[in-house]
């Protein structure tokens, strides 16, 4: 197991290095730049812009800028925001809490609802419920996240007045119930695609398990069907879901970016878009690197948990 972990960690380091190079190059070679905000105002002369470019280090060659940024990053200095003049880590720390809150709540909702739909669809294969669940999953996977979010706001906020239209809580009322009320809308939107994915994978996994010989043996012994499904079938059908959960982190992060923008949720997704609009390169690179770390960490944890849950896996000895 230790050998497997070491190999995966080395692969993660290489991938992070590649991601940082590509992200840094694309960001700095894109049209515009941090100085475009000042140049558009017309209040600064070219000499002022050149002086500011030298202060930010933007006048140096791109490889030199990257090496300097990477050196500071490895030393724990993620840079200072061009817009807020605060350390990037401080800004990210202030926004990562709402994003994790949204991601964890939507994941829990998607896992519970998706697992229930998938299990019931497998047990009642080709029934009306199974057909409706299949059609519903295809529709959910086809609906754009931003459009579904706008529909939720229009119907349940503007039309019925049941849910808030945005923000994390009402100003002046930060109680738990108020926060939970604001969480319902974005949580449902972000969980839509995840529920569809979970239900289809859970159905396929459950169908594979209930046709195994040990399930037939349990039925032949006269054990109750519910006991067989919960004690034997469900326990083994959940194993592939561990890997899917880890690999689903990128989908959650991309969905959170759109969802937070639609619902004005003060998380990392909204911060990322605002930083791009302001050409705040240090903040954008900080979010990009943190996102890459979370994706690789999710994949690594999923592999480790899968190996622990199923001792038959021999990947650790390979």
The model's pLDDT over 230-259, given as tens digits with 9 standing for 90+, comes to: 877 887 787 777 777 777 777 777 788 889
In a domain, 80, yes or no: no
Looking at the fold, whether 118 and 207 belong to one and the same domain comes out as yes
CA distance 209 to 228: 11
Looking at the fold, whether 131 and 59 belong to one and the same domain comes out as no
In a domain, 222, yes or no: yes
Neighbour-count burial of 43, counting CB atoms closer than 10 A to its CB (0-12 exposed, 13-18 middle, 19+ buried): exposed
Looking at the fold, whether 121 and 239 belong to one and the same domain comes out as yes
Looking at the fold, whether 247 and 117 belong to one and the same domain comes out as yes
119 Cβ contact partners less than 8 Å away, ≥ 6 residues apart:
202, 203, 206, 229, 234, 237
Looking at the fold, whether 114 and 188 belong to one and the same domain comes out as yes
Terminal-residue alpha carbon distance, the chain: 9
Compute the Cα dihedral for 81, 102, 270, 302 and give only its sign.
positive
Residues of the domain holding 44:
1-75
Looking at the fold, whether 146 and 177 belong to one and the same domain comes out as yes
Share of the chain above pLDDT 70, in %: 90
Domain count, the chain: 2
Contact predicate 191/109, CB 8 Å? yes
Q: For position 215, which CATH number holds?
A: 1.10.3720.10
Residue with the larger pLDDT of the pair 208 and 44 = 208
Contact predicate 205/237, CB 8 Å? yes
Mean pLDDT confidence for 204-214: 85
CA 276 to chain centre: 19
Q: List Cα–Cα distances, 172 to 94, 178, 186, 202, in angstroms.
A: 19, 10, 21, 43
pLDDT digits (tens, 9 = 90+) for 96-154: 889 989 988 998 898 889 889 998 998 888 899 989 999 999 998 888 888 999 999 99
Note the pTM of the prediction, 2 decimals: 0.79
């Amino acid at each position: 197991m230790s050998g497997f972990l070491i190999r995966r960690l080395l692969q993660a380091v290489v991938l992070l290095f590649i991601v940082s190079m590509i992200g840094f190059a694309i960001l700095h070679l894109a049209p515009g730049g941090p100085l475009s905000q000042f140049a558009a105002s017309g209040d600064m002369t070219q000499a002022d812009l050149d002086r500011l470019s030298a202060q930010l280090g933007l006048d140096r060659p791109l490889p030199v800028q990257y090496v300097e940024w990477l050196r500071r990053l490895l030393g724990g200095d993620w840079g200072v925001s061009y817009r807020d003049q605060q350390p990037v880590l401080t800004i990210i720390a202030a926004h990562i809490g709402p994003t994790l809150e949204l991601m964890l709540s939507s994941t829990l909702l998607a896992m519970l609802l998706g697992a229930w739909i998938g299990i019931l669809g497998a047990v009642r294969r080709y029934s009306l419920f199974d057909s409706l669940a299949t059609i519903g999953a295809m529709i959910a996977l086809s609906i754009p996240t931003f459009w579904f979010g706008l529909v939720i706001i229009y119907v349940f906020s503007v039309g019925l007045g049941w849910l808030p239209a945005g923000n994390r809580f009402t100003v002046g009322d930060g109680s738990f119930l108020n926060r939970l009320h604001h969480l319902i809308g974005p949580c449902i939107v972000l969980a839509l695609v995840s529920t569809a994915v979970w239900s289809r994978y859970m159905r396929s996994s459950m169908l594979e398990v209930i046709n195994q010989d040990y399930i037939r043996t349990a039925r032949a012994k006269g054990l109750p069907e519910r006991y067989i499904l919960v004690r034997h079938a469900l326990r083994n059908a959940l194993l592939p879901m561990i890997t899917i959960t880890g690999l689903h982190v990128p989908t959650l992060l991309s969905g959170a970016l759109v969802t937070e923008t639609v619902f004005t949720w003060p998380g990392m997704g909204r911060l990322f878009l605002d930083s791009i609009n302001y050409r705040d390169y240090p903040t954008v690179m900080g979010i990009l690197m943190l996102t890459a770390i979370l994706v690789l960490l999710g994949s690594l944890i999923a592999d480790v948990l899968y190996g622990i849950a199923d001792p038959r896996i021999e990947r650790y000895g390979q």
